[in-house]
Amino acid sequence: MVDYAQARRTMVDCQVRPSDVTDLRIIAALLDVPRERFVPAARRPIAYLDIDVPVAETGRRALLKPMVFAKMIQAAAIGESDRVLDVGCATGYSSAVLGKLAGNVVALEEDPALARVAADNLAAGNVSLASGPLAAGWPAAAPYDAILLEGAVEVVPDAILAQLKDGGRLVAVVGSGPMRKATIYRKAVGRLSAQTLFDAAAPLLPGFSKPPAFVF
């Protein structure tokens, strides 16, 4: 039988801390949230491996690698009173962790089966579930202090960037091909800037492919 508490500590000590994740609030949240409860029963033994753990029977939806996820939320610099939009929450693990850091979290999911699982997993606390197209974000609760995209994107839609408040941050794994760049977008005085953070790989989120270029 897997000792999941020990596996959780090993994940933090061997994957997260060596990747320069030093925020003690993030470390505590990762140690507190049982990642294995957010994956299908057959995949629980691999919940803490250094991989994107699949959570859907079909498609490519997965929990991000612990190191990638931890570095992204550290870059987002989430404060205790922040309102956060978690785009593509899948089964709710990322939102449960963010709920330990933020004042309020909106967990957005478009897949009905995953949304049902997330609703069960996030039944209590400061996280509310929203169902709708991921690429549209959730304007009903905007603006947000921070937005995280829980998967790779080839393009960040303007509709989501517009939901950042002034001073807000959006973090995503951006680009085409197997190796992409974790990137942070910041809004200041109504203007957006982007900064590359680190190399990262992640499954592509549905609805975030770059439109095909027109060829004459």
State the pLDDT at residue 178: 74
CATH code for residues 4-200? 3.40.50.150
SS3 content of the chain, % helix, strand, coil (to 5): 35, 30, 40
pLDDT per residue of the chain (216 residues) written in tens, 0 to 9:
889 999 999 999 999 999 999 999 999 999 999 999 999 999 999 999 999 999 987 778 999 999 999 999 999 999 999 999 999 999 999 999 999 999 999 999 999 999 999 999 998 789 999 999 999 999 999 999 999 999 999 999 999 999 999 999 999 999 987 779 999 999 999 899 999 999 999 999 999 988 765 555
Which residues face 192 on adjacent strands? 187
pTM of the predicted model as reported, rounded to 2 decimal places = 0.94
Opening angle at CA 115, ends 78 and 1, nearest 5: 85
> Could you tell me if 62 and 88 are in contact, meaning their C-beta atoms sit under 8 angstroms apart?
no
DSSP string, 112-180: HHHHHHHHHHTSSSSEEEEES-GGG--GGG--EEEEEEEEEESS--HHHHTTEEEEEEEEEEE-SSSSE
